[in-house]
Amino acid sequence: MEFRISQEQELFKKAVREYCEKNIAPRSREIDEKEAGIPDDIIQGLADLGVFGCVIPEKYGGSALPGEEMQFANIAIQELSRAELSMSLPVYTLLTIGWGGFFISLYGNEAVKQEVLPKIASGQWSWGINVTEPGGGSDVAAIKTTGIRKGNTFILDGEKAYISQVRESQVRGGGHTTLVVSDPTRGIKGGMSLLAVMPNTLKGMTSTTYRDMGRMGLSTGGWVYRNSEVPDKYLLGQEGKGFYHCMEGFNPARALVAAACLGAAEKCLEIAADYAKQRTAFGHTISKFQGISFQLADDYNQLEMCKLMLQKGCWMIDRYYAEPGSFTQKQINVVIAQCKAVAPVLSADIIKRAIMILGAFGYTKESPLEMAMRGVMSYVSGAEGSFNIMRTIIARDVFGSEFVSK
């Protein structure tokens, strides 16, 4: 066994942290307040550090260390969320890495890889996931948007909702890994396909955006497709197997979601501990009171346990692709579902308790805690898979399909 990260990983972590603390943390509040997306220079800075390319092979402009892609990504996202507590940048990056860089490296054909991956690695393009529809998210098999093949194109019709980066993908360029019903007669076994859909080159599409509780530096919205044509070179993976590819893609994405939540919680916990060391009440710094110190200890404890499980999960994903036969998708499903089940709610609760330590000050916009809480709530609300779906996965893949409710 070996629980230490490698020297290369340590160096990467150190470099990202330094950049983030200096260049990103001071602008986090501004990113949230402006509601105008992530500043270009920050994206460029991160691209230069290899953050967007850490899951992309060198031949496509990336800087991946083969067999360690997700380990590097995990490090990057945790560092980003430690610094950018509005959570706009971490979410932007994890989606772009997870559903863009990592997923297209796996499932894009050569032409798509050559077109998309260098633009992701360089920070030029944004990328996201495009599954949810107005009818709701958890029941992925129930989506209705069709993408019917007609010669060399798929014709999209339908509506997607609660999609991140609707605006970014149009302003910056880029797109979304998009799940459609390609054969309405066949269900999840053969009837769904994944397409790389880029709104800037798509006809017949209209988009809207919503306003959210938090991570205001990132857009959320939806679109309607009416007879929108996507060339079939943008098919990701096998035609008809989109549901399964999508489920596989959720594992790295959810791992990075957990990373984002845990990074933010870790930083907020440190903020609370630092505050407790200098704040005095009843004749002592409040750090002397077990009501404070034990809360911090308990929170640290749960946080570290989840972080460790997440390291394991990222390493397992890396092993899965680098060492065929090392692990099964089922084994990976369980570990990632564990992290995604725990991390968002735990992180929101840790931030809540950090606010309780800072008191009235923690409730103002002078402190980043309230912004972090609003940001993390997006994953508490269920983005990338709800808490109950995670519990279903764990029950099913650990104890057996007898534990899937009717």
Measured CA to CA, the distance from residue 333 to residue 248 in angstroms comes to 8
Tell the smallest beta-carbon distance from residue 190 to its own copies (Å).
Answer: 20
Least separation in angstroms between CB 314 and its own copies = 9
Beta pairing class for 126-130 and 174-181? parallel
Residue among 185 and 290 whose Cβ is closer to its own copies: 290
CA gap 19, 26 in Å, rounded: 11
Q: What does the alpha-carbon distance between residue 182 and residue 144 come to, in Å, rounded to a whole number?
A: 10
Place of tokens 């096998």: 238
Q: Which is nearer to its own copies, 65 or 148 (CB)?
A: 65
Q: Which is nearer to its own copies, 14 or 284 (CB)?
A: 284
Beta bridge mates, 174: 126
Q: Which residue has the tokens 């953050």?
A: 51
Residue 395 exposed, middle or buried by CB count within 10 Å (0-12, 13-18, 19+): middle
Residue 243's closest CA among 178, 188, 186?
Answer: 188
Q: 14 forms bridges with which residues in the sheet?
A: none
Q: How far is the CB of 366 from its own copies (least distance, A)?
A: 7
CB of 35 to its own copies, least distance (A): 12
Vertex 158, ends 154 and 159: CA angle to 5°? 125
User: Nearer to its own copies by C-beta: 294 or 330?
Assistant: 294
The least distance separating its own copies from the CB of residue 221, rounded to whole angstroms, comes to: 10
**Cβ of residue 59: shortest distance to its own copies, in angstroms?**
26
Nearer to its own copies, 16 or 351 (CB): 351
Contact in structure between 156 and 196 (CB atoms under 8 Å): no
Q: How far is the CB of 86 from its own copies (least distance, A)?
A: 13
Spatial neighbors of 337 by CB under 8 A, at least 6 apart, are: 254, 385, 390, 391, 393, 394, 397
| Closest CB to its own copies among residues 122, 207 | 207
Least Å from the CB of residue 321 to its own copies = 15
Q: Which is nearer to its own copies, 131 or 156 (CB)?
A: 131
Strands 126-130 and 192-197: unpaired
Pick the closer one to its own copies by CB: 8 or 40.
8
DSSP 289: S
Nearest to its own copies of 44, 388 (CB atom): 388
**Strand 192-197 and strand 174-181: pairing?**
antiparallel
Contact status, residue 346 vs residue 291, Cβ threshold 8 Å: no
Phi and psi torsions of 160, nearest 5°: -115, 150
Q: State the nearest-atom distance from the C-beta of 103 to its own copies, in Å.
A: 21
